Amino acid sequence: MALEDAKTQVDQAFTRESLRGLSFENAFGGATSFLRRRYTKDLTGVDVAVTGIPFDQAVTHRPGARFGPRAVREASTLQAFDAPYGWGYDPLSVMDVVDYGDMAFDYAAVRDVPARIEAHLGAILDAGAAPVTLGGDHFITLPILRAVAARRGPVALIQFDAHSDTWADDDPDRIDHGTFLYKAIREGLVNPAAAVSVGIRTDNPDTIGVMILDAPSVHRDGVEATLARIRDAVGDRPCYLTFDIDALDPAFAPGTGTPVWGGLASWQAAALLRGLAGVDLIGGDVVEVSPPYDTTGATAIAGAHVAMELIALLGWNRR
């Protein structure tokens, strides 16, 4: 069946009739929506909306993450043929998943971007869809959390990252990818008692109450012990998951703005994400994929897998 479909399928981003099911279009051709989902702004009945925020003007070092959504979509075509390995079910067959496209904004009106992100994600949430966002730099998570908290109240948070992103910043006008979690907690968007950061390996003593499971602890204690601590932290609360691709060691994800050695291996990240099945996930993002430094495409591939795992997590409780 797959072979026969491959002979006839093309541009499933525009031609697919159903919002469900795998796609067997040739990976090397066609319009590159995420996982060959239909591009649409119609969210009627949609369970998950994948969207891109190509913004990288908040970085402290190397830019380029504005190209992340495009690269992750292209890399995702390699996964469109099969259910994600290890889950035991196909989320694309039990949920209506679409590609909502990228957010439009004026790149020169940087001060307007946070409100635009909040409104963009708010429209997805108001339609009843769970958002999976492709960044962009990590600043975008702050306005996303504003949109989420406005509708759900303070949420639990799971952060995969090399950096805590809790550097003190009390200037509401600053747009900085290293302070999103500090501001989210100060604004009451995230419950710090139910927040956990995994993979940290840069020094910042002020964690403002967030549980830190640094990379050395993951390597030392293992996946199962790490999962137990994450679950203890978030409990059964509504939870948002943000995955900075620099949580992975540069050997696995070199294409990012602020790489740090000693990070997670891709197998560890995969096992941790799959081990979170059953958490009350309400949305997530993968950020900081920077294609100009991704000479082999490995970072975009990792980002596409993370986004697929987020979809699988969102579908787990809906099977």
Instruction: Determine the topology of domain 2-316 in CATH.
Output: Arginase; Chain A (3.40.800)
Binding residues: 138, 161, 163, 165, 244, 246
Global pTM?
0.97
Q: Can you give the pLDDT at residue 1? A: 55
Q: Can you give the pLDDT at residue 303? A: 98
Reported as a single tens digit per residue, the pLDDT across 13-42 is: 999 999 999 999 999 999 999 999 999 999
Asked if the model's pLDDT at residue 195 lies above 70, the reply is yes
Identify the CA nearest to 5 among candidates 33, 36, 32, 34. 36
Asked if the model's pLDDT at residue 293 lies above 70, the reply is yes
Reported as a single tens digit per residue, the pLDDT across 84-140 is: 999 999 999 999 999 999 999 999 999 999 999 999 999 999 999 999 999 999 999
As a whole number of Å, the end-to-end CA separation of the chain is 24
Asked if the model's pLDDT at residue 187 lies above 80, the reply is yes
- Percentage of residues of the chain with pLDDT beyond 90: 95
By CB atoms closer than 10 A (0-12, 13-18, 19+), residue 21 is: middle
Q: Can you give the pLDDT at residue 3? A: 67
Q: Can you give the pLDDT at residue 61? A: 93
Reported as a single tens digit per residue, the pLDDT across 94-108 is: 999 999 999 999 999
Task: Please report which confidence band the pLDDT of residue 319 belongs to, taking 50, 70 and 90 as the band edges.
Answer: confident
Q: Can you give the pLDDT at residue 143? A: 98
Sheet holding 130-135, edge to edge: 97-102, 48-53, 130-135, 281-287, 239-244, 155-160, 190-198, 211-213
263/286 Cα distance (integer angstroms): 16
69/314 Cα distance (integer angstroms): 20
101/52 Cα distance (integer angstroms): 6
Task: Please report which confidence band the pLDDT of residue 7 belongs to, taking 50, 70 and 90 as the band edges.
Answer: confident
Binding residues for Mn(2+): 138, 161, 163, 165, 244, 246
Q: DSSP E strands: which ranges in the chain?
A: 48-53, 97-102, 130-135, 155-160, 190-198, 211-213, 239-244, 281-287
By CB atoms closer than 10 A (0-12, 13-18, 19+), residue 34 is: buried
Q: Can you give the pLDDT at residue 112? A: 97
Mean pLDDT of 207-235: 97
Mean pLDDT of 183-194: 97
Reported as a single tens digit per residue, the pLDDT across 278-292 is: 999 999 999 999 999
